[in-house]
Amino acid sequence: KQEVTQIPAALSVPEGENLVLNCSFTDSAIYNLQWFRQDPGKGLTSLLLIQSSQREQTSGRLNASLDKSSGRSTLYIAASQPGDSATYLCAVRPNQAGTALIFGKGTTLSVSS
């Protein structure tokens, strides 16, 4: 059974720092991996999607990498800002027809000004 783990569970950094969030998954048989952002009490906003054949994706200050063989992904946030404070969720889509996303428990990020 696929399991997704995110480390650390919580992270506090001062504004301007570069930071890395980690995601690991137990079964490398995935179609893709998606990073989401969730603000308190709100829905999920998709940040980046990496297909199983890709190594990384970039959007603005965000860069996500994928090493499928080792079951790892990282989300790199450059020059963090207080507005980046949120919970970041990693989710994998197993490569079985009809299956949906399996989520990690998330990393709650707090960026202080």
Nearest Cα residue to 47 out of 35, 33, 63:
35
| Under rule CB under 8 A, residue 93 binds other proteins | yes
Instruction: Give the Å distances, CA to CA, from 97 to 1, 30, 31, 50, 55.
Output: 15, 11, 10, 18, 23
| Under rule CB under 8 A, residue 64 binds other proteins | no
Q: What angle do CA 17, 55, 15 make, to 5 degrees?
A: 10
C-beta closer to other proteins: residue 52 or 74: 52
C-beta closer to other proteins: residue 18 or 46: 46
Q: How far is the CB of 42 from other proteins (least distance, A)?
A: 6
Contact residues toward other proteins (CB under 8 A) are 31-32, 34, 36, 41-46, 49, 51-52, 89, 91, 93, 95, 97-101, 103-106
